[in-house]
C-alpha cells in the first residue's frame, strides 16, 4: 500500500536529519535533491491513490496518518497539529527546516501540500491560490541559469484539482508574481523552470512585483551572497472581501514574506536563537506602493495573526516569542 511507503520515507528521512541544526548534508544541493526526489516518488504513488478516492483527504501530520505507519522515533504533537519539537519540518524538506506553517497535506483540497526539490508550498485548490511557499536560499541555489520563458500548470496537482491558469491573468491588470522568485533558483535550468508554475504565483501589481517586493527579493539574495543561509516563507494576505481576476482567482490585498537569516552558506547551520535576525514584511498589493521593503517591516506575530499560520513552528516556543514579536530595524 502506497501510504506505507510514504510513511516509511518520512521516517527514514527523519532519521538522518539532526534538529535543530540541519545535518551536514541536508542543505547541500546535490544531497537535498536526491533525497527529495526519492521522497517525492513516495508521495506521487500516494497521490495516485488519493485520486482514486478523492473523497477522503488524508492529513499527513495527524498522528493517525503516515507517521504512525512505522514504529519510528517517538514524536509529540503540538496543539497546532504539527509535530514538534523533533522537527517535522526538517524531516519533510530542507526548505521547511524551521517548521510547517499549518496542517497542509497531500490531498487536502484547501491546503494541498506540494513538496518539490526546489521549494515546498501549500495550495488552496478550491480558491485557486497558494497559501504559503517555503524555501531555503544559499549560494548553492544561485548561478547563471536562463530565466524560463513561460508559466505552466503545476503537474504535481491532479488535473481535477483547481489551479489558476494563464488566461486568468491575461489582460487582468495584474502580473504573475512569483512567491519563490525565479532569481532565487538559477543554479540549473530545471530548478529555474520549477518556479514557473501557477501554484507559485499570485496576482500582483506592477508597483509591488517590480518595485517594493523586488527590493526584498534582492535583499535575501544579497544576504546569501554574504555567506548567510536564508529560510524564507512568503504568501498572500486576503481582506474580508476579495477582488478576483479571470475565472475566480483571488487578488491578495498584500503579500507577506518572512526571512530568517542564519550564519553559514551551505550545509550545517546553527539553530535559531533569540539573537537570530528575522525580517518580516507586509507589502500592500496596490498600484501606488513604492520604496524599499524597509518601510514595510512588521512583526512575524502580526502576520501570524493575519493569516492564522504558525511560522517557525519547530523553533522552541520561547525563542519564537522573542523573534516573532520583534520588528527588524537593521539598516
Ligand atoms: Mn510561530
| 10-residue mean pLDDT series, the chain (331 residues) | 34 30 34 33 31 36 32 32 54 93 97 98 98 96 93 96 97 97 97 98 97 97 96 96 94 98 82 94 97 98 98 95 98 91
Q: How far is the CA of 316 from the centre of ligand 1 (A)?
A: 9
User: pLDDT value at position 37?
Assistant: 31
Residue at which a domain ends, from 69, 86, 103? 86
User: Is-catalytic flag, 95?
Assistant: no
User: pLDDT value at position 279?
Assistant: 98
Which of the following is catalytic: 95, 178, 221, 257?
178
Same domain, 67 and 197: no
pTM of the model as a whole: 0.76
Q: How far is the CA of 83 from the centre of ligand 1 (A)?
A: 13
Same domain, 52 and 125: no
- Report if residue 328 sits inside a domain: no
User: pLDDT value at position 190?
Assistant: 96
Same domain, 165 and 254: yes
Same domain, 136 and 260: yes
Distance CA 132, CA 303 (A): 12
DSSP string across 80-93:
TS-BTTTTHHHHH-
Same domain, 185 and 247: yes
Same domain, 82 and 104: no
Q: Is 171 left (phi over 0), alpha (psi -120 to 50) or beta?
A: left
User: pLDDT value at position 267?
Assistant: 74
User: pLDDT value at position 321?
Assistant: 98
Total domains in the chain come to 2
- Identify the CATH number of the domain in which residue 249 sits: 3.40.570.10
* Pick from 163, 189, 162, 193: nearest CA to 180: 193
User: pLDDT value at position 67?
Assistant: 31
Same domain, 99 and 81: no
User: pLDDT value at position 105?
Assistant: 97
Residue range of the domain that includes 5: 1-86
Same domain, 298 and 151: yes
Same domain, 126 and 1: no
- Report if residue 316 sits inside a domain: yes
Distance CA 271, CA 159 (A): 40
- Report if residue 192 sits inside a domain: yes
Which residues surround the ion ligand 1 when the cut-off is CB under 5 Å? 310-312, 320
Distance CA 107, CA 60 (A): 9
Amino acid at each position: 500500500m502506497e501510504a506505507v511507503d510514504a510513511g516509511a520515507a518520512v521516517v527514514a528521512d527523519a532519521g538522518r536529519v539532526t534538529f535543530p541544526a540541519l545535518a551536514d548534508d541536508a542543505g547541500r544541493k546535490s544531497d537535498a535533491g536526491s533525497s527529495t526526489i526519492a521522497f517525492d516518488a513516495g508521495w506521487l504513488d500516494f497521490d495516485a491513490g488519493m485520486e482514486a478516492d478523492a473523497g477522503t483527504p488524508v492529513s499527513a501530520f495527524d498522528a493517525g496518518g503516515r507517521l504512525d505507519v512505522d514504529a519510528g522515533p517517538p514524536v509529540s504533537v503540538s496543539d497546532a497539529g504539527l509535530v514538534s519539537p523533533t522537527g517535522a519540518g526538517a524531516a519533510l524538506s530542507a526548505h521547511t527546516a524551521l517548521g510547517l506553517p499549518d496542517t497542509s497535506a497531500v490531498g487536502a483540497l484547501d491546503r494541498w501540500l506540494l513538496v518539490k526539490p526546489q521549494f515546498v508550498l501549500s495550495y488552496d485548490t478550491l480558491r485557486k491560490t497558494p497559501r504559503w511557499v517555503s524555501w531555503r536560499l544559499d549560494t548553492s541555489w544561485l548561478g547563471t541559469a536562463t530565466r524560463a520563458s513561460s508559466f505552466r500548470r503545476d503537474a504535481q496537482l491532479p488535473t481535477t484539482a483547481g489551479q489558476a491558469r494563464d488566461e486568468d491573468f491575461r489582460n487582468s491588470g495584474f502580473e504573475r508574481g512569483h512567491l519563490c522568485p525565479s532569481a532565487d533558483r538559477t543554479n540549473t535550468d530545471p530548478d529555474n523552470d520549477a518556479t514557473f508554475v501557477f501554484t507559485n504565483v499570485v496576482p500582483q501589481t506592477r508597483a509591488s512585483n517590480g518595485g517594493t517586493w523586488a527590493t526584498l527579493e534582492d535583499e535575501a539574495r544579497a544576504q546569501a551572497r554574504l555567506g548567510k543561509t536564508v529560510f524564507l516563507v512568503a504568501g498572500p494576505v486576503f481582506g474580508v472581501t476579495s477582488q478576483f481576476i479571470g475565472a475566480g482567482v483571488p487578488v491578495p490585498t498584500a503579500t507577506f514574506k518572512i526571512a530568517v537569516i542564519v550564519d553559514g552558506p551551505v550545509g550545517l547551520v546553527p539553530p535559531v536563537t533569540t539573537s537570530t535576525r528575522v525580517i518580516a514584511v507586509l507589502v500592500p498589493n496596490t498600484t501606488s506602493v513604492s520604496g524599499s521593503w524597509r518601510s514595510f517591516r512588521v512583526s512575524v506575530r502580526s502576520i501570524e495573526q493575519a493569516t492564522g499560520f504558525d511560522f517557525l513552528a519547530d523553533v522552541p516556543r520561547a525563542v519564537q516569542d522573542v523573534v516573532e514579536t520583534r520588528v527588524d530595524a537593521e539598516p
